[in-house]
Structure 1
């Protein structure tokens, strides 16, 4: 797993090229965390992580509060999670996670994006053997007092891999161990920069056709920019691999 797997597996936003896109990505994380639990930061670990990250990115406080309220359904609108699976140009697998108050609108938009850029939507479960879901935590290096104690605690919590990369640790494990690893971090008094269940590709697809690559990039970008889309995963073979 580690750095490359997580980096290749997930494309958050349109490569975070612009400040507004960075804000959008952060607010989607806040919304998702709020929707999945309490709107109280003291009782929702993931929400606390998402809000702290949004603050570090200088997302306006009022925008963060709106995202929390939206996730709690305080505006009277109910959202449901819907996933879409398909293939982009060159046969690259694409997994799209959405949260929507109008599935008909969302599937129509997603299908139109795939068609526009020479891709096709598949049936639910068609990418079952392409992606694996793991628990991933990103912890700032300065939050760890003792690497040995931290490593032992993470292993005890169910982590399968602990890797120091530059100024942060990446801790990953089976998705079923998410809560256990989370509890260990809370016991240590550590709040990660990121905490989520992500999908990593078990197989990767090489794409040498430049025209197809451009279309794939455009497809991923337009999907990521859709208001209903939370995260886009793909299995494109990175040049660094």
Structure 2
């Protein structure tokens, strides 16, 4: 019976109502933090999120206090280096832009491709895969408009805050404005 109750609860049988919520706040050094959750107990989740912010010296904000600093965008990473054949930067850029991407950034170990309209994400991803590119990471995510440098003395505290939030079983995703 206990096992069946647990299975029913996980499947949403028996009245378990899950809610999608977004918590906003500021972590150490004023870094904006956006936390997306899926929970069946908002009191438990709010308490845990508030506690994580408090442990890091940050504070939970009100709705809208942080969200304006992020844009929902498509994000694709294409690795480059030893494991992948040498990719020509101009070719990757042209292929991504022709597929509908809005921005391509080249780094030593990867290309980062941003798609401003999340509705175009699948078309861009599919076009790049059709061209034979290996996609290391592809998702619709929240991207900081103005990433901030984190002071060296606050990096560990911020990392602890993000880790504590991500360890919460109700947390779906954590986004920050940290570089």
Does the residue aligned with 1:129 lie in a helix, a strand or coil? helix
Structure 2, gaps ≥5 residues long: 1-6
Q: TM-score w.r.t. structure 2 length?
A: 0.71
Matching residue of 2:110: 168
Q: Deviations over 1:138-157 (max 9, x none)?
A: 12343787765543332122
Matching residue of 2:144: 201
Matching residue of 2:21: 82
Mapping 1:37-116, distance limit 5 Å: 75-77=10-12, 79-116=18-55
Name the CA distance, whole Å, in 1 between partners of 2:62 and 2:94. Answer: 41
Q: TM-score w.r.t. structure 1 length?
A: 0.56
RMSD, aligned α-carbons: 3.3
Q: Decide which structure has greater helix share.
A: 1
Q: Which of the two has higher C-alpha Rg?
A: 2
Matching residue of 1:230: 172
Matching residue of 2:75: 136
Task: Say if 1:91 and 1:205, in contact at 8 Å, map to a contact too.
Answer: no
Matched, 1:182 2:121: no
Matching residue of 2:3: none
Does the residue aligned with 2:68 lie in a helix, a strand or coil? coil
Matched, 1:152 2:94: yes
Structure 1, gaps ≥5 residues long: 1-69
Task: Say if 2:34 and 2:67, in contact at 8 Å, map to a contact too.
Answer: no
Does the residue aligned with 1:123 lie in a helix, a strand or coil? coil
Name the CA distance, whole Å, in 2 between partners of 1:223 and 1:195. Answer: 22
Name the CA distance, whole Å, in 2 between partners of 1:178 and 1:136. Answer: 8
Q: How many residues align?
A: 165
